[in-house]
Structure 1
Amino acid sequence: MQQTVVPAQYLQIARDLAGRIARGELPEGSRIYGRSVMASEYNVSPETIRRALRLLSDMKVVEVKPQSGAVVLSADSARRYIENFGESTELRTLRGQLKTLMNEYADLNRRLTDTVTALVKSQDTFAAANEPFPNYEVPVPKDSPLIGKSIGALKFWQSTGGTIVAIRRGQTVILSPGPYAELYAGDVIVLVGSPSAAEAAYHLVTTKEAL
């Protein structure tokens, strides 16, 4: 989103008042409205008007008198303010605002970089979790030495490196069987793991000397 950089309000008001004095709209010796009236005219706070008048007072354009407002001193000083100090002050303000914007941009860029880095790390960390583990089915033969043995007693995971996630028994599916679940002839073991784990499980259920 594009931002418009403008001088501070009190600088714009001081510049406008100096212009009116230089053009004779506010003649020398005339009294400028009180701060409350000017605040209403410029739609700003009385403090903003005070800062504008103080700046013009320092440049001898006006004289600020307590309890009686400001009096125009010199149209020539007003013109010098416009030609010299006004421009340089606005430039300093613009430079300051540019510096602030650059600092904000640097901070935003740093935060963006940190966020992207964290996102990439998160994707790397959880990439494997987004990929489903391969599953294998290992039938239990009728003459398997594992028949009647519990999963815990078989130390299935230690022996094969695979994890039994279900046992299909006819039309029934036993999900997440515990260590006390026993294997029956005709069961189909559903396990997750590597191809070598599936091979080891097949060897386990078919080898006569398994147990």
Structure 2
Amino acid sequence: MKRVKVSEPASARYEKIALDIAYSIWKEEYKIGEVIKGRSTLSGKYGVSAETIRRAVKLLEEAEAVSVEERVGILVTSKEKAIEFIETYREQDKLLALREEIRILNEQKEQIDAQVNEKIEFMIEQATVMRNMGVITPLEAKVSPGSHLIGQTIGEVQFWRYTGATIIGINRMGQLILSPGPKLKFFEGDIILYVGNADDNISRVEDFIRD
């Protein structure tokens, strides 16, 4: 079992101190029946206020690992309860770490989505210029009745992965939706505007929409 550093930010300071004391009980640095030094001594050891030590000891007392005896001190009562306390907070730290990891991944996803949208917008601009020059025209494909795309988002169907084509717009009942994001859902009758550089893009798109 690995000792948790008191300086870790995941939990409150007093919780980390309680964990450190619990580890000392588990390691038998504090033995059952031993009286731990007073709060003022612990306060100096950890460099925190007496109130912080009081809150830390309160956690251990509620966990039944120690007992605060009036005029005696902090009495170590159970190694097993100290271990249970450690395991409980280890799981909480894992959840907090996972939550932070998810937050970071969401930020990265938003950044990637923004970059993808920028690239698509640039592609639309270039396609428009090239179309005006007679070089390229965005291709079109209609979402027919019964298509598996209906009700699903662009991201869910992984359009580019299966067709090699990039969606640059959706014509929905005469309204043009440029640079649709991955959360946009397909509806029956949507006309997909896409570009691709493979010779078989048209057939792959048509087959994908129809299947």
Bigger relative contact order, structure 1 or 2, given CA contacts below 8 A and separation 6+? 1
- TM-score normalised by length of structure 1: 0.42
In the superposition, the TM-score normalised over structure 2's length comes to 0.42
